[in-house]
């Protein structure tokens, strides 16, 4: 996870020409070696329970090879194919990180998911603050992150550089995922409240019907007992 996270600032820093190429290459190489080591451990490790699923393993293999090529390739500013490769690796890295942390998110409640959404939007706002010249303050970056993630698009602040436009694609994807989870959690809370009220009403009616049925059964039992007993004969003197 940590090694894959390093590839994100490396990708955008190279687009902005804000960092030396050697730093970006080291980040890609470290990520490739880390993912490759996890693949080797899953393939030849002795702990069977630690092995990932087959689809995850294939994704890790592609990531390891792609990140290695990205580390050895020229600058993204001078090579379109390398830029496309590194962009594809960024998408795959994001997908792999989502797969790695999805069990932390899917089992959380409403407050937990709202906290996750806040952290994601905060990071996206910081990214726009760094990448977009039209967001001179963090508040502007947060506003752009929210309008982008929610796909509102007011148009007051829009991405203007290639780096921020590429970043906005990731923000939209993350926004769809995180904000959908929050919306679903809110809807589930309302539905569960309505279901509890209906269940209480059903249980109340059921208990009332059971009490009435018990009374009828008791009356019927008394009637049957009296009918089977017959009239009493007078005592003989």
Name the nearest CA neighbour of 59 among 38, 45, 74: 38
- The answer to which of 37-41, 58-62, 108-112 has the lowest mean pLDDT is 108-112
236 token code pair: 């003989």
Per-residue pLDDT for 150 more than 50?
Answer: yes
Residues 36, 64 contacting (CB under 8 angstroms)? yes
Is pLDDT at 50 greater than 50 in this prediction? no
Tell me which of 8-22, 123-137, 197-211 is least confident. Answer: 8-22
139 CA to centre of own chain:
25
What confidence tens digit (pLDDT) does each residue in 24-34 have? Answer: 778 888 888 88
Question: What does the pLDDT read at residue 47?
Answer: 47
For residue 24, what are the CA distances in angstroms to 3, 47, 179? 12, 34, 31
* pLDDT number for residue 139: 92
Question: What are 65's two structure tokens?
Answer: 């090879």
Segment 57-79, tens digit of pLDDT: 788 888 888 888 888 887 777 77
DSSP SS3 for 20: coil
Q: Which residue has the higher pLDDT, 22 or 163?
A: 163
Contact between residue 7 and residue 28 where contact means Cβ atoms under 8 Å apart: yes
**81: its two tokens:** 């194919």
- Looking at residue 236, what is its pLDDT? 56
| pTM greater than 0.85 | no
CA-to-CA dists, residue 23 to 10, 28, 71, 164, angstroms: 7, 9, 10, 21
How far is Cα 154 from Cα 133, in angstroms, rounded to an integer?
18
Which DSSP string corresponds to 108-165? --HHHHHHHHHHHHHHHHHHHHHH-TT--SHHHHHHHHHHHHTT---SSS---SHHHH
Which has the higher per-residue pLDDT, 15 or 49?
15
Domain extents for the chain? 1-102, 108-229
Looking up tokens 């952290």, which residue turns up? 119
Rounded average pLDDT over 119-134? 90
**Residue 161 predicted with pLDDT over 50:** yes
Closest CA to 12 of 169, 162, 148, 173: 162
The three-point CA angle 152-153-155 to 5° equals: 150
Residue 143 has pLDDT above 90, yes or no: yes
Roughly how many angstroms between the first and final C-alpha of the chain, as a whole number? Answer: 104
Question: How confident is the model over 179-201, as a mean pLDDT?
Answer: 76
User: What is the CATH T-level fold of the domain 108-229, as seen in this structure?
Assistant: Helix Hairpins (1.10.287)
What confidence category does residue 108 fall into, taking pLDDT thresholds of 50, 70 and 90? Answer: low
Q: Is 70 left (phi over 0), alpha (psi -120 to 50) or beta?
A: alpha
Task: Tell me how far apart the alpha carbons of residues 171 and 164 are, in angstroms, rounded to a whole number.
Answer: 10
């Amino acid at each position: 996870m940590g090694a894959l996270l390093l590839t994100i600032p490396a990708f955008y820093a190279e687009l902005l020409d804000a960092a030396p190429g050697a730093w970006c290459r080291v980040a890609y190489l470290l990520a490739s070696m880390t993912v490759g080591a996890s693949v080797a451990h899953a393939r030849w490790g002795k702990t069977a329970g630690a092995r990932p699923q087959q689809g995850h393993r294939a994704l890790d293999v592609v990531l390891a090879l792609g990140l290695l090529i990205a580390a050895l390739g020229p600058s993204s500013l001078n090579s379109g194919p390398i830029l496309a490769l590194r962009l594809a690796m960024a998408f795959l890295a994001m997908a792999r990180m989502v797969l790695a942390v999805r069990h932390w998110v899917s089992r959380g409640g409403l407050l937990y998911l709202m906290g996750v959404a806040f952290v994601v939007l905060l990071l996206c706002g910081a990214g726009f603050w760094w990448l977009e010249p039209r967001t001179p303050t963090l508040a502007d970056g947060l506003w752009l992150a929210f309008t982008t993630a929610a796909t509102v698009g007011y148009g007051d602040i829009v991405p203007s550089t290639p780096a921020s436009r590429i970043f906005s694609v990731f923000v939209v994807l993350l926004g769809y995922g995180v904000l959908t989870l929050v919306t679903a959690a809110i809807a589930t809370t309302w539905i569960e409240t309505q279901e509890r009220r209906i269940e209480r009403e059903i249980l109340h009616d059921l208990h009332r019907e059971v009490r009435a049925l018990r009374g009828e059964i008791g009356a019927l039992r008394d009637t049957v007992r009296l009918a089977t007993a017959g009239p009493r004969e007078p005592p003989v003197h």
